[in-house]
């Protein structure tokens, strides 16, 4: 009896879940159709507005009233996305004239729940509504959203500020995030900085000026940004890398920078890191071993061959990879493979086997 009861209960739960999923699918489908209808209505309205030489006050008032509804804002976003493909210049002119609408809407959306509030800056950054504009009101509201505990609000507000291209506003936003207790992934920060639309040279000067004021997480994000975007700051990197008060994570990022952009003055420091006797700092040695792949020469080769014997597996692996990139083939590796050093022999054999498998796979394609 108890077993039957359990089976029936289980079947009822399964049936309820299936029914729930069906209802949800129907509701979402109805909402999607409703959104499609609203989008079509907006599209007709916008097309009429686009045909005009300039937007009249009545159009601005109408859009300001309608876009207070989140559903209408979604439809507006969808319509613009479609029309931008066919008529980008007309849409750009239209958005420039509609900018005052979004300035007035900013405070209203800032008071909404997190999900609705986050969507507003998303639309701003997606269509670059305020790119290159002196949008003080919007910037003020975005800086308020950057203080939000909600990740989507913070990230979308940052994205909107990147799209505006005001260097002071972006630096201020980074300082707000850095000083708050809300964790923000530094990869997201780095990827966002790469989307900055304003004057890059001016922006980077502002970043360097504020760099000492940031915490470790933000400093790493900024160094990573320069690593992916600019090879024009090796002296700054060298100075930071050799600052004894700088956190080791920041030093590691600087080493990676010189592993992408070779710089003669950095070479002796990379060699010193690679030859460190402190095996507790194996991460630094391993990263330096990778960076040395960009600095060919007998001294580099000698250091890397020595690192293949290091007790740390990652150090050995990175050193063997760098030797491989420097053209260290089987014939050159024979003395290591046949040596009594088991660590070095196994690592070089492993790397050569991996290389053969890769070359074999490419040959079969």
pLDDT number for residue 32: 73
> Is 162 within 8 Å of 193 (Cβ atoms)?
yes
Q: Tokens 């399964």 identify what position?
A: 14
* DSSP type of residue 293: G
Indicate the burial class of 338 (C-beta count within 10 angstroms; 0-12, 13-18, 19 or more): exposed
What pLDDT is recorded for position 85?
86
- CATH 1.25.10 corresponds to the domain 54-218: yes
Helix (H), strand (E) at residue 46:
helix 2-51
How confident is the model at residue 358, as a pLDDT? Answer: 60
Kindly tell me the sign of the dihedral angle through the C-alpha atoms of 7, 13, 16, 17.
negative
pTM (2 d.p.): 0.80
What would the two tokens of residue 208 be?
Answer: 């360097």
> Quick one: how far is CA 258 from the chain centroid?
21
Residue 280: the pLDDT is: 81
Residue 338 half-sphere exposure, CB side, CA atoms within 13 Å?
Answer: 6
Q: Which are the contacts of 193, defined by CB distance < 8 A and separation ≥ 6? A: 162, 170, 221, 222, 225, 229
293-332: per-residue pLDDT in tens? 999 998 998 899 888 888 888 898 898 889 888 877 544 5
**pLDDT given at position 1:** 61
At 357 the pLDDT is 61
Write down the domain spans for the chain.
54-218
If you search the block for the tokens 């499609």, which residue do you land on? 36
Identify the H or E element spanning 144: helix 136-146
In this structure, what token pair is assigned to residue 11? 């079947």
CB 87 within 8 A of CB 57: no
Q: What angle do CA 15, 16, 18 make, to 5 degrees?
A: 65
Q: How far is CA 280 from the centre of its chain?
A: 31
Report CA torsion sign: 328, 334, 339, 341: positive
Q: Rounded CA gap, 131 and 102, in Å?
A: 13
pLDDT, averaged in runs of 10, over the chain (365 residues): 75 85 81 72 76 80 86 84 85 88 90 88 93 89 92 94 95 94 89 93 94 94 92 90 92 95 95 87 93 93 86 86 77 52 62 62 48
Helix and strand tally (H, E) in the chain?
19, 0
What is d(CA 159, CA 164) in angstroms, rounded to the nearest whole number? 9
pLDDT in tens, 29-70: 887 777 677 767 777 777 777 777 777 888 888 888 888 888
């Amino acid at each position: 009896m108890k077993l039957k009861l359990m089976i029936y209960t289980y079947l009822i739960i399964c049936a309820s879940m299936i029914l729930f999923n069906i209802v949800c699918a129907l509701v979402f489908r109805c909402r999607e159709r409703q959104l499609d209808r609203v989008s079509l209505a907006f599209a007709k309205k916008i097309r009429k507005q686009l045909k005009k030489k300039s937007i009249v006050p009545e159009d601005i008032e109408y859009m300001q009233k309608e876009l207070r509804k989140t559903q209408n804002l979604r439809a507006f976003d969808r319509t613009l996305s479609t029309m931008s493909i066919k008529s980008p210049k007309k849409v750009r002119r239209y958005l420039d004239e509609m900018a005052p609408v979004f300035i007035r809407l900013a405070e209203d959306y800032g008071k909404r729940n997190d999900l609705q509030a986050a969507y507003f800056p998303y639309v701003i950054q997606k269509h670059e509504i305020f790119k290159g504009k002196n949008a003080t009101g919007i910037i003020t509201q975005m800086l308020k959203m950057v203080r939000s505990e909600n990740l989507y609000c913070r990230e979308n507000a940052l994205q909107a500020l990147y799209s505006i291209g005001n260097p002071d506003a972006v630096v201020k936003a980074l300082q707000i995030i850095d000083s708050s207790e809300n964790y923000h992934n530094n990869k997201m920060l780095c990827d966002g900085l790469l989307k900055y639309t304003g004057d890059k040279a001016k922006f980077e000067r502002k970043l360097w000026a504020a760099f000492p004021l940031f915490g470790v997480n933000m400093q790493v994000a900024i160094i990573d940004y320069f690593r992916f975007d600019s090879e024009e700051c090796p002296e700054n990197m060298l100075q930071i890398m050799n600052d004894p008060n700088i956190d080791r994570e920041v030093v590691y990022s600087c080493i990676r920078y010189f592993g992408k952009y070779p710089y003669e003055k950095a070479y002796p420091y990379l060699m010193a890191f690679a030859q460190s006797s402190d095996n507790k700092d194996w991460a630094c040695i391993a990263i330096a071993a990778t960076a040395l792949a960009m600095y060919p020469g007998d001294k580099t080769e000698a250091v890397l061959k020595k690192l293949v014997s290091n007790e740390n597996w990652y150090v050995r692996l990175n050193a063997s990879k760098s030797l491989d990139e420097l053209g260290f083939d089987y014939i050159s590796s024979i003395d290591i493979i046949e040596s009594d050093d088991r660590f070095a022999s196994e690592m070089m054999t492993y790397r050569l086997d991996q290389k053969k498998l890769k070359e074999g796979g490419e040959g079969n394609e």
